[in-house]
Amino acid sequence: MKITIVTGAFFPVPPILGGAVEKVWFALGQQFATRGHEVTHLSRAHPDLAKVEEIDGVQHRRVPGSPQPRSIVRLKLLDLIYSWRVRRILPAADILVTNTFWLPILVRAGRPGKLYVHVQRGPKGQMRWYSHASRLCAVSRAIADDILSEAPQLREKVRVLPNALPFPIDHTGGATRDQTILFVGRVHPEKGIELFLRALAELPSGVLDGWKVKIVGPHEIALGGGGEDFLRSMQSLGRKSGARIEWIGKVFEQADLTAQYRSAQLFIYPSVAETGEALPVAPLEAMANECAPIVSALACFRDYIVDGVNGFVFDHSAPDPAGALAGRLVQVLQLPADAIRQIGNAAQAKAEEFSVETVASLYLEDFESLLAK
């Protein structure tokens, strides 16, 4: 097959500035190429990357984009400009995969291939404009339900296929884990950072003895963060909590991220983004590294985290969400280390289902089913 992948206007590929979607499709494109398919990946240009190059069998072409803006209106405008530029250079293909907002509207059936819309966030009314697409691929059941509630007439075009874990799972074990609660993600209000810090402040005296907190991720608006003012306010809140908190900042090298995951016993991802999360990759990465996840009760987590089996869940929609998280933390932090380790082992076993090899096969089977019609 000839497969074209188009990722968004704001993060380059390879994912040198982060970006979960970019990480996933960079890995999947390489897997498709390994299996003999002709793959072209179009992404945002960056000064450190060539305009055209081949990486592991994938032809990369880069198109002028921009840093991510704060304004949603400006974001949509920049995405439109980027999508128009991409549309002009799309190669002939069998399948065209994209997660951009505007490109599915600008591209119709024909030379670019069957349109495969990859839905990575809760839809905001645009699904009815994608009725000509061959596939609306949701990365979780929660997102599929959102698509169907918005466009029930497109039911036959909706399929649920997960995000892929963008690296091989290391089974060597033997990692020395500190009493660390690790967060990896954008330092942004929707990720529940404030909720977490308020929960830390509510913990009874002595519960955090011996434990430290690490927060890894960008706060810069251009990288999807909440900005300097938000970071400063969160750091102030952290100091008031009395917890030992290290603000690591952005880490994009996969080896460095893996080292962070493998040094921690617990991973916290208290997202409150009811319509923003689809199937977050960071918890999957933590699980692959035997780091037991603690997550909010967002519907998207139900696809891969079961409370008390391979992770821990708290009710972020409770009347007092910080109190709910604090209560769950008290329970978890008082568990024996062996019990937390068992949860981490079960988490890694679940992450196996999301290996790039397994998920690539699912996508290729779906592509072939569309071409057979």
In a 3-state reduction of DSSP, which class is residue 209? coil
Residue 298: name the closest of 337, 260, 270, 328 by CA: 270
Pick the CATH number of 178-353 from 2.170.190.11, 3.20.20.70, 3.40.50.2000, 3.40.570.10: 3.40.50.2000
- Tokens standing for 302? 């139900």
Alpha-carbon radius of gyration of the chain? 21
How do the domains of the chain map onto residue ranges? 2-165+355-371, 178-353
pLDDT for 258: 92
pLDDT for 67: 92
Residue 224: name the closest of 47, 27, 11, 77 by CA: 11
- Tokens standing for 368? 């072939």
296 in Cβ contact with 271 (< 8 Å): yes
- In angstroms, the CA 322 to CA 119 distance is 30
What burial class does residue 192 get, using C-beta atoms within 10 Å of its C-beta: 0-12 exposed, 13-18 middle, 19+ buried?
buried
Percent share of the chain, pLDDT over 90: 90
Residue carrying structure tokens 């071409």: 371
- In angstroms, the CA 42 to CA 72 distance is 23
pLDDT for 175: 66
> Which of the residues in the chain have pLDDT under 50?
none
The CATH class for the domain spanning 2-165+355-371 reads alpha beta
- In angstroms, the CA 85 to CA 66 distance is 13
Task: Cite the beta strand spans of the chain per DSSP E.
Answer: 2-6, 38-44, 52-55, 58-63, 95-98, 114-119, 135-138, 158-160, 178-184, 212-216, 245-249, 264-269, 292-296, 312-314
In a 3-state reduction of DSSP, which class is residue 154? helix
- Tokens standing for 277? 């999360």
Residue 43: name the closest of 74, 12, 19, 16 by CA: 12
pLDDT for 327: 96
**pTM, to two decimals:** 0.91
Query: Whole-number mean pLDDT of the chain?
Result: 94
* Fold match between domain 2-165+355-371 and domain 178-353: yes
- Element holding 194 (H helix, E strand): helix 193-202
In a 3-state reduction of DSSP, which class is residue 256? helix
In a 3-state reduction of DSSP, which class is residue 332? helix
pLDDT for 221: 93
